[in-house]
Amino acid sequence: MAARELFVWYRVRRDRADVARRAVIALQRSLRDRWPGLQARLLVRDEGERSTWMETYSLPAAGAGGDDGMDVAIEAALAAAAGPLEGLVEGPRHLEAFAVVA
């Protein structure tokens, strides 16, 4: 199985952006502490009163086969760690996984 990367997108109202940003940074820091080498980013597309946010997560393959990456344990930890974002996010958080092919 090819390595996977995770993408989580959702919307945040402008009046909640500062608190939400701090919560996401803390969430990503805690995941990086738990999984050394984890690469996490936060991307934002400003749309006026609300914006679309995208968290990206990847973990470079540790083995020669290249079949490591974002496994179901990390995916579950990411979902569990998102609790502090409840009430800050407008609508659901959408998690999508993509296989790395090149």
Instruction: Concatenate the DSSP letters of all residues of 9-71 into one string.
Output: EEEEEGGGHHHHHHHHHHHHHHHHHHSTT-EEEEEEEE-SSEEEEEEEEE----STT---SS-
Please report which helix (H) or strand (E) contains residue 7, including its range: strand 4-13
Tell me the per-residue pLDDT of 4-42, one tens digit each, with 9 for 90 and over: 999 999 999 999 999 999 999 999 999 999 999 999 999
Please report which helix (H) or strand (E) contains residue 73, including its range: helix 72-81
End-to-end C-alpha distance for the chain, whole angstroms = 14
pTM confidence score = 0.88
Domain region containing 79? 4-99
Tell me the per-residue pLDDT of 44-81, one tens digit each, with 9 for 90 and over: 999 999 999 999 999 986 644 445 678 888 999 999 99
Angle between helices 17-34 and 72-81 (to 10 degrees): 150
CATH number where 81 lies: 3.30.70.600
Domain count, the chain: 1
